[in-house]
Chains A and B, each alone.
Chain A
Amino acid sequence: MSRLRELLESGRFVITAEVGPPKGSDVNDFREKVNLLKGRIDAFNVTDGQGASMRLSSLAGCLVVLSEGEEPVMQITGRDRNRIAIQSELLGAYALGVRNVLAITGDYPTLGDNPNAKPVYDLDSVGILLAASSLMNGKDLAGNPLKGNPPKFYLGATANPNFSPLELELIKVEKKVSAGARFFQTQAVYDLRVAEQFIKRVAKFNVKILLGIIPLRSVKSAQFISRMIPGVKISKELMHRMEVAEDPKLEGLKIAADFIKKVREHGLAHGVHIMAIGAEKTVPVLLEML
């Protein structure tokens, strides 16, 4: 049984964080990042070649998390594998102890560090959820029976509360829910009203929502995030706080902490998902502020 699921269903406010596997086979630094957060967050979300950058696999990263006695969420994208490989990876992950899976379509190869790669996309995020759900029902995607007890995954997907038109995003959420998603990790949100609006609209799907948090690091990073995350709005007030801050990094963490505290106090979401994007080592500072 997934511990993440138990926690989310118990009603406790859940905190997860993203950890990116290394560009290389040495996992010491990755293990250190996990250790820094050990016992302080509820699950570690391990990315799958994020930004189409070739890295150590998500499954291998999840095994490091498991070896530290912690709960991993395995991201799996459709970018690099066809349906045979995706299903194999899912079965292997379950056999080795991974219970939580986050299905993602995946950033396009030309955006990453191996731009010459052949893009696969045999399955999109909805297709991956269908495949995982099928395995959970004891059959592969083609309908062939699996041997032994089927896996029991806790399936997740992503959503973007900032997306416009929101109606379109909600239809995608609905599709992901019918394909098997039970929890959602959102894109970074900086505006409580945006979060509130989104949560209200998805309430009918009866799924767990982890609001995405990307702590700002500088005015530049805030501008970058504004450009890169579809529809995201970082208010003038937050921008001003970053501009005048003596220590912008610390200010970014404070902003994130304030946001998380409000989400928790108002019971806005079931939890938060912190994406430090390479700055995982600052997450403990953020957690201290909560």
Chain B
Amino acid sequence: MIITKGKPLDEILSELEGLEKIFIVGCSLCATASKTGGEEEVEGMKRKLESFGKKITGSIVLDPVCNLQKSRLDLKRYDSEIKGSDAVLCMACGNGLQTLGEILGDKPVFPANDTLFLGEVKRFGVFEERCLQCGRCLLTSGVAICPLSRCPKGILNGPCGGANDGKCEVAQDLKCVWIEIYEKLKAMGRLGDFRKINYPLDYSIKVRPGQHLVRRGVSSEQA
């Protein structure tokens, strides 16, 4: 899931300065789960902006924003409201923001959220990063723990010298993921795999922006 965090209201207000009529877009998937762009949050934002003198021309929670063709269709119903707005406020992730920008052409679109990471919903309101989308999943010998996203340094042959009492040098409340990998491999009786050198990654497979086409069951990746 793409984890987002709401921007501070004063940051949003400063971006919207001089813009009176605002249309708000939320997202039914990740932003709803992150509690940053579902129905409830869109309503909340409406009230907040109104209390600062903004006029809300309308709102919609797209399902999801990042589906370009579907969102284009769903927004058609609101054509006149959006045309009559000074700006659109997007309560989705950075991807949703850009999908809206593409659909709405020269209408200013502003983000209400900061996009944090691709991660796990551990429990209500608690999220942790789990994937960097590096382009090639490390097999990691079956432990199913990715050191690229879970070690701040993303090193391939850990732990580094900073792991102290099982904790990461970067954040004391973070368990060293390399120690976790070691312990899990040991419990699985596969410690031999820990001895293998992991060679530096091939970044040529991940040139930005990534493009991925799937047609008739054939997947081709042009990164």
Q: Give the interface of A toward B (CB within 8 A).
A: 78-79, 83, 104-108, 110-111, 119, 121-127, 130-131, 141, 158, 160, 163, 165, 168, 171-172, 174-175, 178-179, 187, 228-231
Contact = CB atoms under 8 A, between A and B. Distances in A.
A230 B199 CA distance: 26
B143 interface: no
Q: Which 9 A-B pairs have the closest CB atoms?
A: A124-B155, A126-B157, A230-B164, A105-B160, A121-B153, A127-B200, A108-B170, A168-B182, A124-B157
B146 to A, nearest CB: 15
Contacts of B161: 104-105, 158, 160, 187, 230
A122 B200 contact: yes
Given A122-B200, A171-B195, A179-B197, A107 B159 contact: no
Contact of B170 (A111, A228, A231): A111
Given A107-B169, A168-B182, A175-B195, A119 B163 contact: no
Given A125-B157, A126-B197, A163-B163, 11 more contacts: A124-B160, A126-B198, A130-B199, A168-B159, A168-B179, A168-B182, A171-B195, A172-B159, A174-B195, A175-B157, A230-B165
B155 A121 contact: yes
Contact of B155 (A83, A105, A131): A105
Nearest to B156: A124
- Tier of interface size on chain B: 20 to 34
A194 to B, nearest CB: 16
23 contacts: A78-B155, A105-B153, A105-B155, A107-B162, A107-B169, A108-B162, A111-B169, A111-B170, A119-B152, A124-B153, A124-B157, A124-B158, A124-B160, A125-B157, A127-B156, A131-B200, A160-B161, A171-B194, A171-B195, A172-B159, A175-B195, A230-B165, A231-B164
Nearest to B165: A230
Nearest to B170: A108
A268 to B, nearest CB: 22
Q: From DSSP, what is the main secondary structure of chain B's interface residues? A: loop
A178 B164 CA distance: 25
Interface of B: 152-165, 169-170, 179, 182, 191, 194-195, 197-200, 203
A175 B156 CA distance: 12
Nearest to B147: A124
Contacts of A104: 161
Contact of B153 (A108, A158, A163, A228): A108
A246 B159 CA distance: 40
A83 to B, nearest CB: 6
Contacts of B158: 124
Contacts of B157: 124-127, 172, 175
B197 A178 contact: yes
B219 to A, nearest CB: 27
A141 B200 contact: yes
**Which of B153, B161, B182, B203 has the most chain A CB atoms closer than 10 A to its own CB?**
B161
B160 A231 contact: no
Contacts of A78: 155
